[in-house]
Each structure stands twice: as structure tokens, then as C-alpha cells.
């Protein structure tokens, strides 16, 4: 299991130290939620802050765009070259065009599905993706409780990927803890995003270790 540490739950007053700490503790990715205050009721960071995070991080960046104007934000973040750049299928008019643009920039394209979004939306684009991010909470805020129906969705997506022969990872974001990680792994996830479970713990190393089963 790969662990993406979500800085949404970090102490932003000590962001450089927090990033260094989770990298040293064993995080595989730094997960960054970009929120525009429209698609979700929260506003987070822009490319200037992301550029600073990139300089501090010792592991690759995993950027999740929670935005209305997907095209605009993709163009805004492409120059920063994160490892993964994901956008919501719910706001993409021409997802294949965006996937191609991200890949041409040398970045791994990923698509995000909200808890209520049907997996059928991926039917004709799955083979073009490097990762699918399934939200296991309603996006916008950290510290929410895991929606248990996400387990069935993870398992169904795992079956869908295996049957199609696609080579994309399954990432799960929202309410991930040491108590539910075994179920999430069993369902077929490859990557988990954890924020409050890591940054709210006494030991980042032990929290990350608990997720790497």
C-alpha cells in the first residue's frame, strides 16, 4: 500500500517542517488538495504555495483539483510537473482531451469520482488513465468519516480494471485510518490518502506504518 500524506490537515504555519516530517516518516507521496471555493465549499492553495511545497518535498506530489474550471486549473498547474494530476469527472466536458494534455506534459493523469458518481463514467477512458481516485467522503474538508459504501465501489473498480486490462492504480481519499485500512486494502486499493490520521497522531512514522499493510 502506498501512502499519500494530505497536507490539508497539516499545520500551515509550519508547513515546511510538516512536509519534511512526513517525508522522513515514510510517506510515498504528498497529496495536495486544490479547492476553488466553488466546486467545494473551501478555498486552499495555488501554484505559488505548491511551488514552495515542491521544493521542500523529498517525495513526488499528487495534486487533486477540486475545481469548477478544470481546463483553467490544469493549465495553471501543468508547469509545476507533479507526479499525478487528478481532476473530477463531474466537471470535465472533454475528459479525454484533458487526459492527453496532462500526459503530453509528462505528468500521470488521474480522474476523481465523488462518492455518488457511477463507475460507468470511466468505461471508455479507463485505459487512458494512470490512476483513479475514489472519494470516500464528500470532498471539501478534512477529518470526515469514511463512507462504508466506498468499499463496494473500490472492489467493483478493481474488477473493472482487471477485466479491461488497464494499468491504472486505485487511490482512495477520505476517512482513512488504521482501523479500516485492512478492509480498504482487501477491496483492492493501491494508494490511500491520509490527512488527519497522520497529522493528528503523536508519531507520523507509526501512523504511516499502520497504513502500509
SS3 66: strand
Q: 196: annotated binding-site residue?
A: yes
Q: 31: annotated binding-site residue?
A: yes
Give dist(CA 151, CA 50) in Å, integer.
Answer: 31
Catalytic-role residue among 28, 62, 130, 173? 173
Cell 478555498 belongs to residue: 43
How far is the first Cα of the chain from the last one, in angstroms, to the nearest whole number?
6
Give dist(CA 73, CA 128) in Å, integer.
Answer: 20
Using only the alpha carbons of the chain, give its radius of gyration: 16
Q: 26: annotated binding-site residue?
A: no
Cell 470535465 belongs to residue: 92
- 173 carries an active-site annotation: yes
Give dist(CA 147, CA 204) in Å, integer.
Answer: 24
Q: Please list the residues that pair with 172 across neighbouring strands.
A: 134, 192
Take residue 156 and report the three cell numbers written for it. Answer: 467493483
Q: 106: annotated binding-site residue?
A: no
Q: 195: annotated binding-site residue?
A: yes
Q: 173: annotated binding-site residue?
A: yes
Q: 188: annotated binding-site residue?
A: no
Q: 6: annotated binding-site residue?
A: yes
Q: 33: annotated binding-site residue?
A: yes
Burial of 74 from C-beta contacts in 10 A (0-12 / 13-18 / 19+): buried
Give dist(CA 129, CA 197) in Å, integer.
Answer: 28
Q: 200: annotated binding-site residue?
A: no
Q: 94: annotated binding-site residue?
A: no
Catalytic-role residue among 11, 24, 33, 36? 33
- 190 carries an active-site annotation: no
Q: 175: annotated binding-site residue?
A: yes
Catalytic positions, written as ranges: 33, 173
Give the residue numbers of the binding site for a divalent metal cation.
31, 33, 64, 173
Give the residue numbers of the binding site for substrate.
6, 64, 140-143, 173-175, 195-196
Give the residue numbers of the binding site.
6, 31, 33, 64, 140-143, 173-175, 195-196
Amino acid at each position: 500500500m502506498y501512502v499519500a500524506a494530505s497536507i490539508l490537515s497539516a499545520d500551515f504555519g509550519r508547513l515546511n517542517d510538516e512536509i519534511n516530517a512526513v517525508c522522513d516518516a515514510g510517506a510515498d507521496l504528498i497529496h495536495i488538495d486544490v479547492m476553488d471555493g466553488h466546486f467545494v465549499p473551501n478555498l486552499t492553495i495555488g501554484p505559488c504555495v505548491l511551488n514552495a511545497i515542491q521544493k521542500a518535498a523529498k517525495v513526488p506530489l499528487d495534486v487533486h483539483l477540486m475545481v469548477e474550471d478544470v481546463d483553467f486549473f490544469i493549465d495553471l498547474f501543468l508547469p509545476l510537473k507533479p507526479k499525478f494530476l487528478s481532476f473530477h469527472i463531474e466537471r470535465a466536458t472533454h475528459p479525454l482531451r484533458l487526459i492527453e494534455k496532462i500526459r503530453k506534459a509528462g505528468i500521470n493523469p488521474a480522474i476523481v469520482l465523488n462518492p455518488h458518481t457511477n463507475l460507468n463514467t470511466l468505461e471508455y477512458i479507463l485505459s487512458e488513465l494512470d490512476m483513479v481516485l475514489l472519494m470516500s467522503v464528500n470532498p471539501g474538508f478534512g477529518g470526515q468519516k469514511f463512507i462504508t459504501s466506498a468499499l463496494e465501489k473500490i472492489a467493483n473498480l478493481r474488477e473493472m480494471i482487471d477485466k479491461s486490462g488497464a494499468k491504472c492504480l486505485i487511490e482512495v481519499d477520505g476517512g482513512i485510518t488504521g482501523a479500516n485500512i485492512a478492509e480498504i486494502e482487501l477491496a483492492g486499493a493501491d494508494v490511500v490518502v491520509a490527512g488527519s490520521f497522520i497529522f493528528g497522531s503523536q508519531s507520523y512514522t507509526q501512523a504511516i506504518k499502520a497504513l502500509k499493510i
